[in-house]
Structure 1
Amino acid sequence: MPQITVDYSGPLADGFDRPAFARDLHTAVVDIAAAKPPACKTRFRPVEDVVVGSDTDVHALVHVHIALLAGRSDETKARLTEAVLELLRQYVKPAGGLVLHASAEVRDLDPSYRKFEGE
């Protein structure tokens, strides 16, 4: 916990500083949602096909999904979502006239969530 997934349009790859984004995102999750730094895990998934409206060539998407153990207030989740959007403004620089659509969601992990660490 937290489990963070970032889906992004493939054409953004060169203009998205993913390591710096993840580093600062983890700091925000620790500061805002009281997560432990070693527990922050982010995976990035490039998305090949994106369609917004009827224009397929001018739009790019980034969606950040953060799943936390239950117990955070709606206010805390909203603050974290706003912090994510601000970080996306900093670290995603679309090239070639792409219009960026950025979004974020923070939700509770299902009570069935379990994990282990080890070899």
Structure 2
Amino acid sequence: MPQITVDYSRTLEHGFDRAAFARALHEATVEIAAAKPEACKTQFRPSAVTAFGYADPDEQEHAVVHVTIGLLAGRSDETKARLTEAVLELLGTYVEAEGAAVHASAEVRDLDPSYRKFDR
């Protein structure tokens, strides 16, 4: 915990500083949601095709980034909203898409009570 996934259009491959974004996001998550630094884990998942509205995906006029953060239950709605806003600010800093409109979104949710993990 936290479990962070970042889904993004493959067209952002060269315009998204993922390492710097992850570092800044982990710092924000520690500060805002009282997570432990060593507990922050982020996976980046590029999407081969992004469809937006009626636009032709081959034209690559739109890029999408969506961040999902799963936290153990107990954070207030205000804390989750602050973290979501921080995510969007960070995306604005670390995502560049020449010639494409970037559509960014974020969600902070509680992990299910069945959540378990192990480390080796």
TM superposition score category, shorter chain reference:
over 0.9
Counterpart in the other structure of 1:16: 16
Counting aligned pairs with the same residue, the percent is 70
Aligned residue in 2 for 1:104 = 106
Matched, 1:79 2:79: no
Return the letter of the residue paired with 1:64.
V
Alpha-carbon deviation of 1:94?
Answer: 0.4
Runs (4 or more) in structure 1 with deviation over 4 Å come to none
The aligned amino acid for 2:24 is D
Taking the aligned partners of 1:9 and 1:50, their CA distance within structure 2 comes to 6
> Unmatched 5+ residue regions in structure 2?
none
Name the structure 1 match of 2:67. Answer: 64
Q: How far did 1:98 drift?
A: 0.5
SS in 2 for 1:72: coil
2:54 equivalent in structure 1: 54
TM value normalised by structure 2: 0.96
TM-score (norm 1): 0.97
* Matched residue type, 1:114: R
